[in-house]
Chains A and B, each alone.
Chain A
Amino acid sequence: AQTVTQSQPEMSVQEAETVTLSCTYDTSENNYYLFWYKQPPSRQMILVIRQEAYKQQNATENRFSVNFQKAAKSFSLKISDSQLGDTAMYFCAFGGATNKLIFGTGTLLAVQP
């Protein structure tokens, strides 16, 4: 069975600085997707970034980028130039053959002014 592990329950970063959130996963599948979702205090889940496992190039969306290490089964999220609006719970998720998402336990990120 697939598992997703986020080992950082809480993190804090100063505004305008860079922070990296960690995520590791375990699977025997070769073709899958990985996601980072953001859940701000409003509790609306927002897709931040998506990575296809067959692509070697790391996905980037503006200030958000990932470091995808397939062999190590690692999928970290880097947020550059952190903004107050980035304060949220961040969930790493695995999407495989079952079409279901397996979520990690989340990392609560606080951006300090």
Chain B
Amino acid sequence: GAVVSQHPSRVICKSGTSVKIECRSLDFQATTMFWYRQFPKKSLMLMATSNEGSKATYEQGVEKDKFLINHASLTLSTLTVTSAHPEDSSFYICSASRPSSGRDTQYFGPGTRLTVL
């Protein structure tokens, strides 16, 4: 299969601090990774598309200076929530695109629950 991991699974931080979330494709190389945010009982909202070796593309309304994305290798993308505030508390999910499985097939990580106090 195609396995994607995320770390940490849960994080609690104080308001004003920064939090880094890692997303790794464990058994395949992913030129493209995606970051989503999901509110309780809601669908996934795409935040940004991360391409290896280039700048991330952010969706409209997502603050690029607040949600820093780095895709330094074909197996790792990171999302850093800078100066986190309580309204940033949410469930963040990453996915990695595996071309050999067919165009646009995304495999998802288990998610990270962020709680900002």
Using CB atoms and an 8 Å cutoff, list the residues of chain A in contact with chain B: 32-33, 35, 37, 42-47, 50, 52, 91, 95-96, 99-101, 103-106, 108
Contact = CB atoms under 8 A, between A and B. Distances in A.
Interface residues of B, number: 23
A96 B104 contact: yes
Given A99-B49, A99-B97, A100-B49, A106 B43 contact: yes
**Interface secondary structure of B, over-half rule:** strand
A37 B107 CA distance: 10
A79 to B, nearest CB: 20
9 contacts: A35-B105, A44-B111, A46-B108, A50-B102, A95-B104, A96-B104, A101-B44, A101-B106, A105-B43
B104 A101 contact: yes
A50 B49 contact: no
Interface in B13-67: 32, 34, 38, 41-44, 46, 49
A104 B45 CA distance: 10
Nearest to B45: A103
Contacts of A96: 104
A103 B44 contact: yes
B78 interface: no
B102 A104 contact: no
Contact of B32 (A43, A99, A103): A99
Given A43-B110, A108-B41, 6 more contacts: A45-B93, A45-B95, A47-B106, A50-B102, A100-B104, A101-B34
